[in-house]
Structure 1
């Protein structure tokens, strides 16, 4: 992607997010002066950004929105809820256009019509769509495209000009180049052919001017006009929007404090760090070998290992901090999507977000939007009732959907809750049986929490018809898959008639994974520690037959016991003492028999590829200190 366009997409979305936050406050407090001022600055800066790329419909909409906010700033008009709602619609359109620019490089054929309709929604803009004369002229569009790199770095008000000297100007004593040289603060100039292009050399008439001069000045409009005072009929001038005002010192401080680094470079640094961790881990067996030869040498090796481990740990924390990004860019599209989906379902919904400033690993931020979008669709379609139904139930006509994010120890907790109809476990079991996902006997034996988790089964849906929002059976299973790809866990808490809460628990650090190495026969496997509830050792006589399987009692609760060897297709060797690794699958605790527990290591787990990608229950692989390959297991998938 073009570097300047990439920068525009990043900054444009940040400005959209800022304006969206301001409009959300103005919907509650329409006369909040600070929010009006902040929204004006964001819209003003965004207008200048889209002008650089000659996105005329977006510029026209933002200009109209800026006018409304400017009048509100000066106190000449008062904002009301209807006006702020129209401003939100304008911002949503620009947000969609930015997405289109990223996806296809253009706004789409309906952009001009949509812009005209949006402008008419704003007070003081009831006239028909702007005339062709009011549109940015073609010469200006070409100039801004041609000089985009230069204009993007400007921080002051600019004036573009197009000077078309009369063909006989030389006979009158005019010197076009001398006139242009008199323009103060000239920052760019292009000499272009007039008419149909540059003439052939033999056809040139030396006393006829056939050039056109286009350029940009950083001087004030009056100063540029003064430079052309003798030829005003041969000049077209067009002011260009300046970025929003900011404190110069603050701007310099931000520029010095922020450095944009390509994500691929950070990923490469993380991989090198993983290789360093593997090398450091190799010191322990090396010291053990040295013990048999020279105890002093072994002690020196261990001392060097401690120093290297400390330096590696510091480096790990540094790289992990570089990978931290705020959640806001990931979540910025959700308010617009909630409004659009709710409108398509003819429902009234108030959406709130908290904790979007929380910083998480970029891998988590990148992977979070997909499951959240599915959860939002599910809540709006299946959860929150229509206004009439809510009123019949004694609820407010406007439904509530809330998203929050926060830290809990070494985990990121993301919660989405609604005050809708809730989930009926009995109805879920009934649909699952009807669709052949489980038998009636198995459904009867399910706990309420296990019944709720049936919504994550592939192909499960309670929708009676396929719509643009749901009913395709590809929603909630995608949520579970996405969360598990991020080594996370999702819980459901629902009360029939009161609402539903989805709680995702995700790792803070996605750079490396803390693994517990377990033995199964003569083989070793890695298990992510965040999938391990506890490890226990019990007498084999404590295992009780239950149905066709085994179970044991742990902390007063009966827990099913499965053989990890059998799940991996290996022979299960009986032993007098049983080592159990307790995990969660389908929201319930499950104990897995293993033959032993080994060391705990920090490792970069690479996702499975090739033939390994088709193996059930394998989440990836890593390299051990002796150069071997360790398969990392996905316990919830194996135990399902």
Structure 2
């Protein structure tokens, strides 16, 4: 992908999110001057950005939206609900066009028609005529290029008189043009005003100049004000020498790095951790021959471990990205879903500035979108039903992101009809998933977990938008792929809340090394509830299986060795690893517990990719391969 386009996709989406937040505030308070200014600045900047690319329809739409906001800023046209809705529609349209540019490199053949319909929704606005650019080179451009050597670009920059109020510095903008050969500053009115007639806060100059840089590079310097610039490129005849270019603007403080390089650095951290783990057995071997040497090895190991841990924290911090870009499309999609269903829904996002590992940010959108669809479709009631229930006609869905210790907690809550656990039990019985006795013994929390069973649905007719339960198994799979968990809280008549938790650091995984069936395996510590040792006599037969009582609860016990196709080591005591499977506690009997290590776990590939219950693999310090078990999949 072109570097300039990649930068635009990031910045453009940030500007869309910024403008959307301001417009959302205007929906609640149409006279909020600060929100109007924020929306204007974001849309004005976005208009300049899209002008660099083949996005004429988007530029025209943003120009119209900017015009409406400019009049609102000056007080000549107050924003009503229709105007705000039109602005939101324009922004949503541009948001889709940004996606189209990323996927296809073009807006599509119907872009002009869509732009016309969007602009028509803006009250009191007459779309600006499209100015055709003549191929003739004007005199001012010829005069600038006279005597220059090679290919040059002549530019005429006519700053908006109010540019200072928007924080624009015309001289700084021109100074950033690469390979600047000449710069002339002329009065906009033909002659300079008298000193006592000068208004110091208005710009009355025109800046003309010449650059040896390519046309697109010069255009990029003016991407924020495309309507104030004229450019002409031509091959100038050899002649007078070019003027010396002024000093370049200060270097940027932000460095953009390809994500693949960060991933490669993370892999290097994994190799370093493997090397560090190899020092412990070397020290143990040296102990029998030379205690001084063994002590020196352990000292070196401790120093390397501290340095590796610091490097790991640094790389982990570089991988952190804000959630805002991941969540930016959800408000627009929420509006579209609600409009399709004829419902009125207010969707709010809290904590989108929270930073998470990029792996989590990249995998979070799809499960959240599915939960949002379900919340609006089958969680939020229609306005008439809400009035009958004593609720406001407008439903509310809130997405909240917070940091909870070493985890990232995300909750999506609605104030809709909730999930009835009795109905869940009845549907499970009717579909043959449970018998009547088993269903009646389910707790409400366990009944809610049934919606994650593949194909389970609480609706008889699934809409075109979603079906609560249909596809929820895919949501759970996506969350667990990110080493996360999902829980449900719901109260009939009052709403539902889905709680998602993810590890804050996805770079390395803290593993518990265990032994089962004569081999070593790794288990992610976030899948371990606790480890206990009980007398073998405490394991009692229950039906066709085995169970024991832990902390006042009866917990089924499975043999990990047998699950893996081997046998377990008998003994007077049983070592149990307790985990969660489908919302319930399950104990796995293992042969022994070993070390706890930090490792980079690589996803299963090749033959391992088709083995159920294997979550990945990592290398040990002795060169051996450690398979990492996926406990929820193994005991399902």
TM interval, short-chain normalised? 0.7 to 0.9
Counterpart residue number, 1:99 = 99
The answer on 1:559 being equivalent to 2:524 is no
Residue 524 of structure 2: which of 524, 528, 534 is its match? 528
**What is residue 181 of structure 1 aligned with on the other side?**
146
Distance in 2 (CA, whole Å) between partners of 1:432 and 1:53 is 54
Which one of the candidate residues 336, 348, 370 is aligned to 1:374?
Answer: 370
- Which of 297, 302, 319 is equivalent to 2:298? 302
Name which of 274, 277, 282 aligns with 2:273. Answer: 277
Q: Matched residue of 1:163: which SS? A: coil
Query: Equivalents in 2 of 1:423, 1:472: separation in Å?
Result: 9
The gaps in structure 1 that reach 5 residues or longer are 140-160, 166-173, 191-215, 228-237, 245-251
Aligned to 1:40: 40
Cα distance in 2 between the residues matched to 1:218 and 1:260: 34
Instruction: Call closer, same or farther: CA 1:241–1:532 in 2, change over 3 Å.
Output: closer
Q: CA deviation at 1:519?
A: 0.7
Q: How far 1:34 sits from its partner (Å)?
A: 1.8
Alignment CA distance shift 1:408-1:241 (3 Å)? closer
1:326 to 322, 326, 346: 322
| SS class of match (2:108) | coil
> Closer, same or farther in 2 for the Cα pair 1:93/1:182, shift >3 Å?
farther
Q: Which runs of 5+ in 2 are unaligned?
A: 156-181, 191-204, 209-218, 227-248
Cα separation, partners in 2 of 1:480 and 1:176, compared to 1, 3 Å: closer
Shift, 1:555, TM fit: 1.4
Tell me the residue number matched to 2:159: none
1:562 Cα deviation from its structure 2 partner: 1.3
CA drift of 1:434 comes to: 3.6
Structure 2 vs 1, CA of residues 217 and 343 (structure 1 numbering), >3 Å: closer, same or farther? farther
**What corresponds to 2:194 in structure 1?**
none
Query: Are 1:343 and 2:308 matched, yes or no?
Result: no
d(CA) in 2 for partners of 1:564 and 1:486?
A: 23
Query: Who is 2:233 aligned against?
Result: none
Match of 1:613 among 609, 615, 627: 609
Change (3 A) 1:351 1:295: same
CA 25–176 in structure 1, closer or farther in 2 if over 3 Å, else same: closer
CA drift of 1:468 comes to 2.7
Query: Retained in 2: the 8 A contact 1:463–1:470?
Result: no
Is the CA contact (8 Å cut-off) linking 1:328 and 1:356 kept in structure 2? yes
Conserved 8 A contact 1:56-1:136:
no
Q: Which residue does the alignment assign to 2:361?
A: 365
Counterpart of 2:89 in structure 1 is 89
Please say if residues 184 and 207 of structure 2, whose CA atoms lie closer than 8 Å, have aligned partners that are also in contact: no
Deviation at 1:445, TM superposition (A): 3.3
- Give 2:28's aligned residue: 28
Deviations along 1:337-379, one digit per CA (max 9) or x if unpaired, are 1000111111110111111000110001111111100100111
CA RMSD after TM alignment: 2.8
Equivalent position SS for 2:51: helix
How many angstroms does 1:76 deviate by? 2.1
Deviates more, 1:617-626 or 1:569-578: 569-578
Which residue does 1:403 correspond to in 2? 399
CA distance in 1, matches of 2:339, 2:10: 28
C-alpha contact 2:321 2:361 (8 A) present in aligned 1: yes
Against the structure 1 CA distance between its residues 218 and 19, is the aligned structure 2 distance closer, same or farther, given a 3 Å change threshold? Answer: farther
Task: Give 3-state SS (helix, strand or coil) of 1:43's partner.
Answer: helix
TM-score normalised by the chain length of structure 1: 0.83
Q: Secondary structure at the match of 2:569?
A: coil
Report Cα offsets for 1:363-422 as digits up to 9, x if no partner: 011111111001001111111100011111111100010000011110000000001111
Match of 1:232 in 2: none
User: Deviation at 1:164?
Assistant: 5.0
Once residues 178 and 75 of structure 1 are traced to their aligned partners in structure 2, the CA distance between those partners, rounded to angstroms, is 43
Equivalent in the alignment of 2:13:
13
Helix, strand or coil for the counterpart of 2:79? coil
Native 8 Å contact 1:579 1:594 kept in 2: yes
Query: In the TM superposition, what whole-angstrom CA distance separates every residue of 1:188-241 from its partner, at most 9, and x where no partner exists?
Result: 159xxxxxxxxxxxxxxxxxxxxxxxxx999777789999xxxxxxxxxx9976
What does residue 206 of structure 1 align with?
none
Are the counterparts in 1 of residues 517 and 562 from structure 2 also a CA contact under 8 Å?
A: no
Map 1:405-424 → 2, pairs under 5 A:
405-424=401-420
Q: Distance in 1 between matches of 2:185 and 2:511?
A: 63
Structure 1 residue 175, shift from structure 2 partner: 12
Distance (whole Å) between structure 2 residues aligned to residue 442 and residue 435 of structure 1: 13
For residue 565 of structure 2, what is the aligned residue in structure 1?
A: 569
Tell whether the 8 Å contact from 2:420 to 2:492 is kept in structure 1 after alignment.
Answer: yes
Say whether the 8 Å CA contact 1:188–1:217 is kept in structure 2.
no
In structure 1, which of residues 465, 479, 484 is the aligned counterpart of residue 475 of structure 2?
Answer: 479
Q: Go from structure 1 to structure 2 and tell me whether the alpha carbon gap of 1:272 and 1:175 turns closer, same or farther (over 3 Å shift).
A: closer
Which position in structure 2 is the counterpart of 1:587?
583
1:163 positional shift: 2.3
CA distance in 2, matches of 1:592, 1:286: 32
Q: Label 1:468 to 1:217 Cα distance change in 2 as closer, same or farther (>3 A).
A: farther
Give CA-to-partner distance per residue, 1:293-348, whole Å, 9 cap, x none.
11100000000001100100110010000000000000000000100011111111
User: For the residues of structure 1 that align with 2:189 and 2:339, how far apart are their CA atoms?
Assistant: 48
Q: CA deviation at 1:83?
A: 1.6
Kindly report which structure 2 residues correspond to 1:591-606, keeping only aligned pairs within 5 A, or say none.
591-606=587-602
Aligned 1:509-524 pairs, distance under 5 A: 509-524=505-520
Match of 1:52, SS?
Answer: coil
- Structure 1 residue 182 displacement after superposition: 9.5
Looking at structure 2, the residues matched to 595 and 3 of structure 1 have their Cα atoms a distance apart, in angstroms, of: 54
Aligned partner of 1:394 in structure 2 is 390
How far residue 457 of structure 1 moved from its aligned partner, in angstroms, is 1.2
Partners of 1:218 and 1:608 in 2: CA distance: 63
- Taking the aligned partners of 1:86 and 1:178, their CA distance within structure 2 comes to 45
- 8 Å contact from structure 1 (residues 56, 135) kept in 2: no
Partner of 1:242: 224
Distance 1:404 1:474 in 2: 24
SS in 2 for 1:257: coil
- 1:97–1:575 Cα change, 3 Å: same
Structure 1 range deviating more: 512-521 or 72-81: 72-81
